[in-house]
Amino acid sequence: MSSAPPRLILTRPDDWHLHLRDGDALAYTVGWSAAQFARAIVMPNLKPPVVDTALALAYRQRVLAARPAGSDFQPLMTLYLTDRTAPQEIARAKASGAVFGVKLYPAGATTHSDSGVTELRHVHGVLDAMQREGMPLLVHGEVTDPEVDVFDREAVFIERHLVALRRDFPALKIVLEHITTSHAVDFVLSQTARDSRGAPLLGATITPQHLLHDRNALFRGGLRPHYYCLPVLKRESHRRRVLEAACSGDPRFFLGTDSAPHARAAKEADCGCAGCFNAAHALELYAQAFEQAGCLHRLEGFASHHGADFYGLPRNRDRIELRRQQWTVPQRLDYVDDGIVPLDAGRRLDWRAVAGAAPQQPA
């Protein structure tokens, strides 16, 4: 039995890495995230990808239109960097006030990344413009070299590309997304430079799946496709290191669910899609991980403060309540096609987010 309190009241959190998809999926995905999060950085890997400001603004309107009645959920849009992105696009994106980052997918690294960057030198002009405009670069940090073992792709990306990127663009704001290894933690900790507001120049998002699971979850009693995401889960020593980073209170680490919904049949297939779906119960999953690590008192900074501070956005003023209440993650939720299997389906969790029940913060 834990001696933790029966309820937690946190500043409303934000999700700094989220896949909402498009079309009929939005009716589900936007509602799930809006129930827990005030804002979310929305990934641009649609088909076709969101490669310019006009597409991002149109996508933003579709997301806003899918909000539940009364919701003030704010989608923070991103552009998908390609070899052909024009440096002038960055000023347009910045001036729109709706684009908050540019996403680097090495070509072929993950779901819908075939339009990604083939060589970083092709985008140096764009990175220059981003550095000037203060537009963050959000990095899927995995090499795609087929010679590199899938479990090593993050560590090799850091060695081969990130070190040089940091050196060549010392004032560029960079987020290393969904970190999974001790190498990533070490790299983030080695980066101490700050921007003109005193916020870190380099930060990292961390998902619930990488806090709660090591790679054995993929093979427990058989092949478990709902634990397959990219970057793939790593060995236990890495999980511990990433959990320690999340729990450290260091402002360079913040919440990004990487909730990446795929309908059930697309996961349970001969060649199943990468992506864990966690948005419906993300905060509960993070609370579980933080409590297991004895650092629930660090959850609010990680979930609600560090990301906003990194992006130079105000912290949210409203709050969310988590009650200590056991419940079981459902086996399946309604979604397009044949529904969706949430991360940790069937698992008993100890915390439940109570929508709309928390008092406002005094002005």
Binding site partner of 52, from ligand NCD, Zn ion, none, Cβ cut-off 5-8 A by kind:
none
List 14, 52, 250, 258, catalytic entry: 258
Query: Rounded to the nearest whole angstrom, what is the least distance from the CB of residue 111 to ligand NCD in the complex?
Result: 3
Spatial CA neighbour of 287 closest among 317, 239, 320, 259 = 320
Q: Where are the beta strands (DSSP E) in the chain?
A: 7-11, 15-18, 39-42, 74-80, 99-104, 137-139, 174-176, 202-206, 253-255, 319-328, 348-354
258 binds Zn ion (CB under 5 A): yes
Q: What is the contact surface with ligand NCD in residues (CB under 6 A)? A: 19, 45, 110-111, 140, 229-230, 258, 260, 274-275
Which is nearer to ligand NCD, 7 or 215 (by Cβ)?
Answer: 215
344 binds Zn ion (CB under 5 A): no
Which is nearer to ligand NCD, 189 or 336 (by Cβ)?
Answer: 336
Spatial CA neighbour of 275 closest among 214, 345, 341 = 341
Cis? peptide before 146, omega within 30° of 0? no
Binding site partner of 182, from Zn ion, ligand NCD, none, Cβ cut-off 5-8 A by kind:
none
257 token code pair: 């669910």
Residue labelled with tokens 């670069």: 137
Query: Rounded to the nearest whole angstrom, what is the least distance from the CB of residue 19 to ligand NCD in the complex?
Result: 5
Query: Rounded to the nearest whole angstrom, what is the least distance from the CB of residue 66 to ligand NCD in the complex?
Result: 18
Binding site partner of 230, from Zn ion, ligand NCD, none, Cβ cut-off 5-8 A by kind:
ligand NCD
15 binds Zn ion (CB under 5 A): no
Which is nearer to Zn ion, 259 or 288 (by Cβ)?
Answer: 259
Residue labelled with tokens 């779906």: 277
Contact track, Zn ion, 91-130, x by CB under 5 A: ----------------------------------------
CA atoms within 13 A on the CB side of 308: 19
Which is nearer to ligand NCD, 12 or 234 (by Cβ)?
Answer: 234
Which is nearer to ligand NCD, 75 or 251 (by Cβ)?
Answer: 75
CB atoms within 10 A of CB 31: 16
168 belongs to the catalytic site: no
154 binds Zn ion (CB under 5 A): no
Q: Compute the distance between CA of residue 363 and CA of residue 158 in angstroms, rounded to an integer.
A: 43
**Sign of the C-alpha dihedral, residues 280, 34, 213, 100?**
positive
Q: Compute the distance between CA of residue 260 and CA of residue 275 in angstroms, rounded to an integer.
A: 5
221 token code pair: 């009693």
> Torsions phi, psi of 258, nearest 5?
50, 30
Q: Compute the distance between CA of residue 244 and CA of residue 15 in angstroms, rounded to an integer.
A: 20
Q: How many residues bind Zn ion (CB under 5 A)?
A: 1
Contacts to Zn ion by CB under 5 A: 258
The set of catalytic residues is 258
